[in-house]
Every structure is written in C-alpha cells, then in structure tokens.
Amino acid sequence: MYGWHLRILRVNLTTHQVTKEDVDPKIARDYLGGRGLAIHYLYKEVDPTVDPLSPGNKLIFATGPLTATPAPTGNRYMVVTKSPLTGALAHSNSGGEFPTWMKRTGFDLYIFEGRSPEPVYLFVNEDQVEVRSAAHVWGKDTHETTDILKAETSEEARVACIGPAGENLALMAAIMNDKHRAAARSGVGAVMGSKNLKAVVAMGNKNPALHDAEAMRSISVETSKNVGADVKKGSNMRIYGTSYVPQVTNTLGILPTRNFLQGTFEHVHNVDGDALKNQYLIRHTPCYRCPLSCGRLTEVPDGPYKGKGEGPEYETISSLGTGCGVSNLAALVKANYLCNEYGMDTITTGMTIAAAMEMYEKGYIPEEVIGMPLKFGDHDAMIEMIKKMAYNEGFGKDLAQGSYRLCEKYGHPEIAVTTRKQEFPGYDPRGSQGMGLLYATSNKGASHMEGDVAYEEVFGVPVKENPLTTEGKPELVKHFEDSFALMDSSGVCVFVGIRYMFNKDRMILPQTLANMMNLSTGAEYSPEEALKAAERVYNLERMFLLKAGSTEDTLPHRMLHEPLPDGPAKGKVVELDKMLPEFYKVRGWDEKGWPTKEKLEELGLPLN
Amino acid sequence: MLIRIKMIANYRDALPPHHKHGVIELEVPEGTTVYEAISRFDIPLNDESVIVLNGLTVDMTTPLTEGDMVTAFSAIAGG
C-alpha cells in the first residue's frame, strides 16, 4: 500500500514499553487517515466516560495520507483525545514542520497510553524509539524545551512539546510544535501533561511511497501554480496572514468585542492587519511546502512588550485583543508570544479573561479575589492573568479551568460564551447564523475549524451566502463539516484545501483532493466516496461524544436571548430552533440528535 | 449625495492616498447603485470580491442613500 505507512507506534507510558503495529488497509481506506483513523482507534480503545486526565485516556498524534507528500500544505497532523475542557472529543490540527518529520519516522500514528511515573519525552528516529527522561526540561517553556531537545538529539529533528500550562493541567493548554505552531484547542496539552509526557522529538527519512509519484508531482505543481497566481494578484493571506480579518468581521458586525457584549470594536484599526504590517511585521513564514505562507514573524523591538515570535493571527486578535477590549497592539503581540511560550490556546485563554473582565465589571468577582482590577481594555492586567493561568497561581487557578467553570463557580454561568464548555472563536453567530448551528452541534464544542461556513457567510468562498438568514444552512453546515473532516483526515491545510482542492460549484466536491489521495494511496476514491468516508468519520466522532454524555446541542444564553446591540446584525439572536431539527434530518439523525440505525448501517459503523 | 467607500486590506491600494483607515467620502448622484459606486474603483467585480452595503448582503442594483457605506474586500482567501 502507498501513501499510508500502515504502521502505528504505540507507547505505554506507564511501563515505557513501545510496540509497533500494522494497520488493516481496509480500515485506512474507510477512515482516510489523520483525524479519521485516530477516531477509529479512540472509539475502539477508550471508554467515552473515562476521566480525560486519567491514565485511561489515550492521546493520539495522527498524520494523513497526504502528509509528507508533494501535495501543497501536506504538512498537517491532528491530535485526537478525550478533552478535559469539553468532556467530549478533542481533535486539534497543526502544521509547520513537525508533522512531516513525524510521518518520515515511518509511522502514521503515535498512540500514547497510561501515565509515566516521571516526566519523559519520546525520541523517534525511524525504528530507534526511546522513552527518555525529561526531568531537565520539566518546568521550561516551549521555546527553551525545543532548543534543549534539538541540541541533545539532532538539529535535524523537530519537536512538539508542552509548556508550563500543560504541565500544570490548565484546560486551555496546547501542544506546540516548531515553537510557534499549535495543536491548540480543547486542552490537548493538559492530557499530554497528565501523562507526564513533555515532548515528542521526531526525525527520519521514510517518505511514504506514492502510488503514482509522477502524476502526484504534476498535480501538486499545478495546484501550487494556482495558489501562486492569486499570491501574485495580491492575496491578503500572503500580505497579512489572517490579520486582515478583523476589518471584515467588524464591517459585518460579528467581531467578538468585550466578551461578545458587542459586535464591533471602535479601535479596530489599532489591531488590524495594516497596523501589524506597518509596526511589527518582519516577514511571512510558511509551513512546510506551503505556497500561501500565512504565518507572520513579528517583533516588538523595544519597550515593556519587547519580544520576537510569530503572530498574532486573527483568532488571537479577536480573543486576547477585541474580546478583551484591548487596543494596545504591542501588548497583544506580547500576549500571543507568552501563550506560545507557555503553551496555551489563545482563543480559550483570551475569552476566559474576557469573561472574567465582564464578571469583574458587573461586580460578580471582587477585586480582592482577583488581586487587581480587571477592566475591559486593561492590557497589563490581561498579560498578568495569562501568567497566573499558566502557573496556576492565585486567581489563575480559577481561570485555568476555562470560562464556563469560572463563571459557574462565581454564580453566573450565563456570562460564559461557550458550547460544550469551549470558548467561541472569532465570529459572532448572531450575525452569522450558519456559524451558530455549527457551534451548537460541533463534535469538539465551539470551533470554526469544525466546518467553517464563515467561508461562505463572511468571505464569499466559493460563493457569498447571506450570513443573517437560516434557509439552507443545515445543508451547508453538514457539507462543510464533512469537507473539513476530509481535509483533516488527509493531512492538508484547510486554507489551501477548501479554495484549491474543491470544485468551485455551489455544493463543492473535492475533485482535486480526492485525486491527490488516489495518486498518493492508490485507493481510487471518487470525490463522493471521499466525502462519504468523511461523513463516516464525523458520525463516529458524534457517537463518541454522545456516549461521553455530551448530548445537548445548544448555545449559551447570550446568543439565544441577548440581541446584538450594535452593527449590521443589530437586534439579531441565533435562530437555532429554525435550523436544528432540519440539521438532524439532513444528517440522518433522530429528533434527539443520535445517528439512526439506518445511518450507521449506511456508513458501515458499529450499531452500539 | 455623500456616501462612503471602504476598502479592506489589499483593496486599499485602489483608493486615493488621503483615505482614513481605508475609508473615503464620495459625492454621487441620487439613484446611484452599489454597482455604479464601486465600479469607479480598480478592483475585480466578479466572484473574487465581496461587496456589502452597510455590512449587509444586498443586490448590486440596490440604489444608495445619503450616508451609506459600501465596503469591498477580496474573496481570494478565507480567514
């Protein structure tokens, strides 16, 4: 078989025993790889009701059949586990270089189980696999850890690791790779920390064999040329990365502002792409084999927020920036650097601080509990809170539990803007109804990366859809969810995938992507069949979270009962009741949202 | 009547240099449509662009009224 190695590395952290296993080629084909193959193993091996931070949970690193191939952006991996933040499923995606290096060790998946008695890291150089002491890097941030582990192994190696936030089991802890890239969401870093696994260091030369290498090269060159043509025309993604988006969402009135109390930010020009480009941008930084190159290397050259690193991207601007009412760009950039170094998801970090700011301003959390005033817009207090969260100090212990548990503890859970206890990303769904349905039903709690219909509702890709209407949104959300499950399973980045690997018709088919997967694996997927496999993945994930007890598809109070007070979507709430029953029908689920027997049979999924 | 044109990110290059944060004011005749106003600027008027009126999705033949804001941005990439 090609494309996939069809090999798994299983690491029992309790005993430090390592085993190498084969993957059934039919299972690989049915579940695609990456996110899909990972849920197959998680569902088979982990009790959905397990305590996510106990040794019974498993942590899966998963590459796809296009990872480490010539496919443009074939540089992704997924981290799949049961989430300690949501109690449901976590599947977090990252690019950079580590995922390609991991695939080149000759394994598609690493499965970590148990809990090491002491801090360790895993070193993999093809068949040389060692569980080594991490005592000397425990407590260090992600940048220091990466430098030390590369120095003691090889400069040719690439590192994924946790920082202090993961060690301290903060529920917004990320797994950082290549210093600046994050498998960020749902607390995957806390699961890694609970296993006393500080880092994974990977290197090797085992590129996957390809079914038709020549044709694969040819289609990859052609796709890269299409991206390159747009870059030449002046693609915003190359010039600004995603930092141009605040102006777009502000125009539509869906820019999260002050914990979603507003949909527009009066100081948006202080924190937008032009401000970043003019003040702190050094250059763009691509992931491996990416012709788009949306990463930003930035530097604050002097002053109290002096530093150098990557970001901020849009989701960081809309959480730590506008979400907290912060308009000081240097402080926002510094906050992003700190999150990367401590290993934290900027969305949950920012929106948890935003919720705490609202709680403080309304008098629900007194100053003596926090240790300082915490008003919207206070960028120094925001930075202080990030440090306290990462190190579990004082009020940071409450913050490290995420906004839902924080607001619930102090008596006002309605202040938390979460679904399945995970914080909303940067699109207020009151002015983007399809996003509301997505957040309510997402397998991983609120997330744009679960099926980002903002592509149509906001960005007009491939066509512009009115964001304020509900008609047709159930079909649109299902299609995007399945399409994203396909991209996440294949190993490509959605930024390039959705635009350049799908047909541009109204209901887009993954013509180029399916073609690439066939040239990689020889599996002969039709585009429809590839999407059907993705639907299989999505439904198996759904079964996992339902069995975990996460059965309620709803939205927080603010989204259903507090109309937006400003902007073009003024007066709107999410009309979830108009979309949800239809969505269940479109999905082939019963009226309570469980996949029907017929749907499970159609997809070849287990009936219990 | 006076309307406003807002260009986001790379489309700002299509504005005269005196714009403020990508916004300019523009004098147009009564009855001018969204399409007529935006077509004065050198941006692609096809599926590569998203054009909204006061932040709302509207038909391009919608006539403008005093104080309206027409915003354009590139649809080439997502967010």
Separation between Cα atoms, residue A259 and residue A374, nearest integer Å? 13
- Nearest-Cα distance to chain A for B43, in Å, is 11
Q: Which residues pair with A60 in a beta bridge?
A: A80, A111
Amino acid at A189: G
Please report, for the domain that includes residue B64, its CATH number.
3.10.20.30
Q: A505 versus B19: which is more confidently predicted?
A: B19
| Cα→Cα distances A41→A25, A37, A166, A544, Å | 14, 7, 24, 11
pLDDT tens per residue, range B21-73 = 999 999 999 999 999 999 999 999 988 899 999 999 999 999 999 999 999 99
Domains defined for chain A, CATH in brackets = 7-203 (3.60.9.10), 241-422 (1.10.569.10), 429-603 (1.10.599.10)
Assess if residue B79 is contained within a domain. Answer: no
Q: Which residues of A touch B (CB under 8 A)?
A: 230, 233-237, 239-240, 242, 244-245, 247-249, 251-253, 269, 273-274, 292, 294, 314, 452, 454-455, 458-468, 494-495, 498-499, 504, 567-569
How many C-beta neighbours within 10 Å does residue A544 have? 20
- Which residues in chain B have their CB less than 8 angstroms from residue A244's CB? 8-10, 73
Helix (H) or strand (E) segment spanning residue A249: helix A245-252
Q: What share of chain A is helix, strand, coil (3-state, %, to 5)?
A: 45, 15, 40
- Which long-range contacts (C-beta less than 8 Å, at least 24 apart) are formed by A265-271? A265/A322, A265/A325, A265/A327, A267/A327, A268/A322, A269/B21, A270/A327, A270/A328, A270/A329, A271/A246, A271/A317, A271/A321, A271/A322, A271/A326, A271/A327, A271/A329, A271/A332
Pair A254, A432: CB distance under 8 Å: yes
Please report which helix (H) or strand (E) contains residue A282, including its range. strand A281-285
What are residue A536's phi and psi, to 5 degrees? -60, -45
Give the pLDDT score at A506: 65
**Taking CB atoms and an 8 Å cutoff, what residues of chain B touch A233?**
76
Judge whether B71 is closer than 8 Å to chain A, CB to CB.
yes
CB distance B77–A455 less than 8 Å? no
Q: How far is CA B35 from CA A245, B14, B31, in A?
A: 23, 16, 11
- The beta-carbon neighbor of B54 closest among A461, A499, A568 is A568
The long-range contacts involving A365-369, CB below 8 angstroms and separated by at least 24 positions, are: A365/A410, A369/A395
> A228: exposed, middle or buried (C-beta count within 10 Å: 0-12, 13-18, 19+)?
middle
What's the DSSP call for residue A182?
Answer: E
- Rounded Cα gap, residues A144 and A134, in angstroms: 13
Query: Token pair of A328, please?
Result: 């000081």
Say if the Cβ atoms of A292 and B77 lie within 8 Å: yes
Nearest chain B residue to A269, by CA: B21
Cross-chain Cβ contact A274/B9 below 8 Å:
yes
- Cβ contact, residue pair B77, A273, below 8 Å: no
Closest Cβ opposite residue B50 in set A235, A249, A459: A459
Indicate yes or no: CB of A468 within 8 angstroms of CB of B77. no
**How many domains does one find in chain B?**
1
Q: What is the ipTM of this complex?
A: 0.96
Return the closest-CA partner of residue A576 out of A455, A433, A444, A477: A433
Q: Any residues with CB less than 8 A from the CB of B20 and at least 6 apart, and which?
A: none
For residue A483, give the nearest of A73, A35, A86 by alpha carbon: A35
A550, two tokens: 């996460």
- Domain span at residue B7? 2-74
Record: contact B10-A239, CB cut-off 8 A: yes
Residue A24 confidence (pLDDT)? 98
CA distances from A11 to A17, A110, A144 (A): 6, 7, 25
Give the nearest chain B residue to A455 (CA atoms).
B78
A4-8: Cβ within 8 A, 24+ apart: A4/A28, A4/A33, A4/A65, A4/A108, A4/A208, A4/A521, A5/A103, A5/A106, A5/A107, A5/A108, A5/A206, A5/A208, A6/A108, A7/A106, A7/A107, A7/A108, A8/A41, A8/A107, A8/A108, A8/A109, A8/A110, A8/A111
Residues of B in contact with A236 (CB under 8 A): 9-10, 73-74, 76-77
Task: Decide if B41 is inside a domain.
Answer: yes
User: What sign does the dihedral A236-A239-A241-A242 (CA atoms) show?
Assistant: negative
Which tops the pLDDT comparison, B77 or A444? A444
Measured CA distances, A606 to A40, A43, A80, A453, A596 (Å) = 11, 10, 20, 29, 12
Taking CA atoms, what residue in B is nearest to A236? B10
Q: Would you call B32 an interface residue with chain A, using a CB distance cutoff of 8 Å?
A: no
Residues 6+ away with beta carbon under 8 Å from A147: none
- Rounded distance, CA A557 to CA A580, Å? 16
CB of B45 within 8 Å of a chain A CB? The answer is: no
Whole-number Å distance between alpha carbons of A465 and A463? 6
pLDDT tier for residue B77 given thresholds of 50, 70 and 90: low
Kindly state whether residue B38 falls inside one of the protein's structural domains: yes
* Per-residue pLDDT reduced to its tens digit, A198-215: 999 999 999 999 999 999
- B24 within domain boundaries: yes
**Chain A residue whose CA is closest to B58:** A466
**Is the distance from CB of A573 to CB of A559 less than 8 angstroms?**
yes
| Contact check, Cβ <8 Å, B79/A314 | yes
Which residue from B9, B54, B71 is facing A236, i.e. has the nearest CB? B9
Whether residue B52 and residue A459 make contact (CB cut-off 8 A), yes or no, is no
The two tokens of residue A126 are 């093809």
Selection from A124, A64, A74 nearest residue A97 by Cα? A74
Residue from A227, A231, A233, A236 whose CB has the most chain B CBs within 10 Å, to mutate: A236
pLDDT of residue A329: 98
Q: How many CB atoms lie within 10 A of CB A571?
A: 9
**What is the pTM assigned to this prediction?**
0.98
Q: What are the mean pLDDT values of chain A's consecutive 10-residue runs (608 residues total)?
A: 95 98 98 98 98 98 98 98 97 98 98 98 98 98 98 98 98 98 98 99 98 98 94 88 96 98 98 97 96 96 97 97 98 98 98 99 98 98 98 98 98 98 98 98 97 94 92 97 98 94 84 98 97 98 97 98 98 98 98 98 93
Q: Confidence band (pLDDT; 50, 70, 90) for B75?
A: confident
Nearest-CA neighbor of A498 among A438, A446, A449? A449
B63 part of a folded domain: yes
Residue A490 contacts residue A66 (beta carbons within 8 Å): yes
| Cα separation, A369 vs A70, whole angstroms | 54
Does residue B15 fall inside a structural domain? yes
The pLDDT score that the predictor gives to residue A1 is 72
CB contact under 8 A, A237 and B50: no
Is B18 part of any domain?
Answer: yes
b/e map B12-28, b = 16+ CB within 10 Å: beebeeeeeebeeeeeb
Determine, yes or no, domain membership for B61: yes
Within a 13 Å sphere around the CA of A233, how many CA atoms are in the beta-carbon half? 17
